[in-house]
Structures are given as structure tokens and as C-alpha cells.
Structure 1
């Protein structure tokens, strides 16, 4: 009977997990700020050399990123930074245009004074991040704003779908917010939506939210089509 292989100490396993999480976080930030655009291949050996570690925690980091839909692990190519096709982008914004205004119409009448104060504070934080060029925070703050607006809709399944759609269009939306005019419009429309909710003009708030999403989607689709034409 062969001797049992000794288990790796718990401290080693924890250190290993910590290293892979740190690598995943570093790569995640590069993807989210556009340094690693969609389609770029992430070679395990090159990353291991860059970080000065073995390939095992790099592979685990890439699996974590795949679970977050930031990376696709493909046969014969390995890990590739994921992206959206034009058709996927159109689908995402069509779904958001359908779902979010309906959910806001259900949620807005139940937004409390405290909810609205929190939303105004979040909107100001979003504006500061836009003005400061803190790109990595734009998607997070925008998603929080939209989801907090809809929090009282009483439709948990629909909210889960919207949350996934917002995550999917996080990176593309940063592209759309690359011009001062689009930044100014995003800030203004967020404030106007809140003002309408506060005034209990629910239908008007829902319609402005639809227009807001439609404009972002239209701008992004135009950017994607322009990029395809150049390619």
C-alpha cells in the first residue's frame, strides 16, 4: 500500500487563493478601464512571468474572471477578453428599455424620503466620479443608481435580469461616456428622473428613464457600427 500524499497546509492553500484573487483583481481593473480590450488573448505563461508566480494561480484567476463574464476560455486560444457583439448590445438595450420603465412605474410610488435622499447622494457621487475621470467607478455607481431606483418594484426576478443587463453593458457604457456632452446629459437626466419621482410624476419619470436608456444605447450602437465600418 503506497503512502498517503500529505495534504497541503491550510496556510499554503489560503496564500494560494489570496494570490489568485489579487491577480484576478489586477486583470479585472485592466479590462474595466479599457487597457485590455475585447478580443485580447491572455497568455498564462506571460501573466505568470509578469506577476512572478506559477501558472496555477494565474489559471485560477482566469477562471474567476470567466465566472464574471469578463473572460472567455476558448479551445485552442486559451483565455480571451470577452466583449459584446452589435446584436447582443442591441438586445441588451431593447430589454432595458422594456423592463426598467415598467419597474420604475411600480417602484417610484414607494420610494421614501430617505430613499430619495440616498439616490440624490448617489447621483452626486456619480457626477463627481465622472468629472474626476474615475472610470473604474462609473459602471458600479450607474448600476447602483438604476437598481436603487427600481428597488421597491416588488419584482425580484425582473430586477435580477436588469442587474445582469447592467453588468453586461458596464464596459460599453464607459465608451459612450467618453465625451463631455454625454457626461453632462447623463448627469442631468439622472437628476431630472429623481426630481420627477420626488414630485410623484411617475409616468413622466418612467418615460424619461426610457429616453435616457434609449439615448445611451443608440450612441453605443452608433460607435460599434462605426468601429465595424473602419475594421
Structure 2
């Protein structure tokens, strides 16, 4: 059983990267036999991996048809980001008065590490990990584990669209500047201004993603 779990974890990790990297389009079917052959494993760890990705919102199972990449609509993307505004704003507002020097240094260190990654030319690679870790560093003092778990789930569902946005709109530098501003407001204890900036940050990212997403749909229809 332990070997199956290890193989399932490997398959899930690699499939997640391929989905988030845009290799599979929304609505594409994931055939278990083909994946098992691709990864050199039986169908059991493949199914376990797909079930794990279903729990993350990246895969959907349809009765008698199999597993498919989750396909989001513009309305769903907007809904996901509205939920982010509500949950992340609440977490940040509760966290800022409780942030310690260690929390702030952790967030600052993450920004320095991401600066170094940008300077090395890794524009999109690792963005999601740094972004999630930075926001978590600012929210963790709120001591709201269930809320943070929901935020993490929402970010996973949005991740491939954020990557697509960053790749095609070249807005990484803008997001980086806003992260720095958010850190400074949090450091100064300016909770209201920080929450306003966070809301703007999330809503503008949503609008940019929707523009890219709808353009890709239009191009697909014209192809």
C-alpha cells in the first residue's frame, strides 16, 4: 500500500504541474490507461492521483465517461476571485494587528527570493509557490486555519489561469510592486489601507485573467 501511495503521489505531482502549466486544456479527457502507460504504473495509482486532483478542483469525474480537466467559465472565474476577496480580506484584517517581527521577516525574505528568481529569468516558474507562501506569511497570524485552507483551495483552482495571465500579459512586475506595498502597509499596521490594496490586487488580477481567458476562447473559436 505504501508503494502505491508513493507512485500515486508522484503521478499526482507531475499531472498537477502539467495541468497548471497549460499542457492540458479545460475539458480535455484524461484516459487512465494512457496515463498508466505514460508513467509506467498500473491504473490503481493513476486513479488515486486523479481522485486527489479532483479534491483540488483540477479534475472532474463524469459518470460512465471518466476523468476530465475542469473547465471554468468566465462567471466561475469571477466567482472564485470574489471569494478570494472576501476570505483573504478577512484573514489579512485579523492578521495585521498580530503580525510579529518573525512573520514580517518571513514575508520579506520570500519577496527577496522571488526578486532573485526574476533576475535569473524564471518569469513564471515558481511564481505560484512564492505567491502563496508570501500571502500565507501575511495571513497566518490571524489563526484561522479553516479559512486559510479554503484560500489555498481557491488558489489551486485559479492557478493555471494566473499562470496564463502572467505569461501573456507580462504583469509579474506589477504584482511584485503591489506585494512590496502590501508588506509595507502590514509592517506599519495600516490594516484598512492594506485590505483596500489587497482587494484591488485580486480584482485587477481577475479582470486581467478574464481578458486573457476570453481572448483564448475567441481564438479557439476562430481556429
Asked whether 1:37 is paired with 2:51, we answer no
Question: SS at the partner of 1:84?
Answer: coil
Aligned mates of 1:75, 1:102 — CA distance in 2? 38
Listed as ranges, the gaps of 5+ residues in structure 2 are none
Question: SS at the partner of 1:79?
Answer: strand
Provide TM-score, normalisation by structure 2: 0.86
Asked whether 1:176 is paired with 2:165, we answer yes
On the 8 A contact 1:108/1:200 being kept in 2, the answer is: yes
Given the superposition, is the C-alpha separation of residues 134 and 44 from structure 1 closer, same or farther in structure 2, using an over 3 Å criterion? farther
Given the superposition, is the C-alpha separation of residues 103 and 19 from structure 1 closer, same or farther in structure 2, using an over 3 Å criterion? closer
* Cα displacement (A) at 1:106: 2.3
Aligned mates of 2:152, 2:111 — CA distance in 1? 18
* Cα displacement (A) at 1:183: 0.6
Aligned mates of 2:14, 2:142 — CA distance in 1? 36
On the 8 A contact 2:32/2:43 being kept in 1, the answer is: yes
Asked whether 1:126 is paired with 2:103, we answer no
On the 8 A contact 1:143/1:167 being kept in 2, the answer is: no
Given the superposition, is the C-alpha separation of residues 180 and 120 from structure 1 closer, same or farther in structure 2, using an over 3 Å criterion? farther
Listed as ranges, the gaps of 5+ residues in structure 1 are 1-12
Superposed, 1:16-165 pairs within 5 Å as 16-130=4-118, 132-133=121-122, 135-165=124-154
Superposed, 1:193-212 pairs within 5 Å as 193-212=182-201
Between Structure 1 and Structure 2, whose CA radius of gyration is higher? Answer: 1
Aligned mates of 1:180, 1:143 — CA distance in 2? 20
Question: SS at the partner of 1:120?
Answer: helix
Aligned mates of 2:218, 2:178 — CA distance in 1? 31
Question: SS at the partner of 2:197?
Answer: helix
On the 8 A contact 1:126/1:141 being kept in 2, the answer is: yes
* Cα displacement (A) at 1:130: 4.7
Given the superposition, is the C-alpha separation of residues 158 and 47 from structure 1 closer, same or farther in structure 2, using an over 3 Å criterion? closer
Give per-residue Cα distances to partners, 1:22-66, cap 9 Å, x unaligned.
222222221122222322211122122223333333223222322
Aligned mates of 1:216, 1:139 — CA distance in 2? 14
Given the superposition, is the C-alpha separation of residues 94 and 16 from structure 1 closer, same or farther in structure 2, using an over 3 Å criterion? closer
Question: SS at the partner of 2:167?
Answer: coil
* Cα displacement (A) at 1:212: 0.8
Provide TM-score, normalisation by structure 1: 0.83
Q: Count how many residue pairs are aligned between Structure 1 and Structure 2.
A: 219
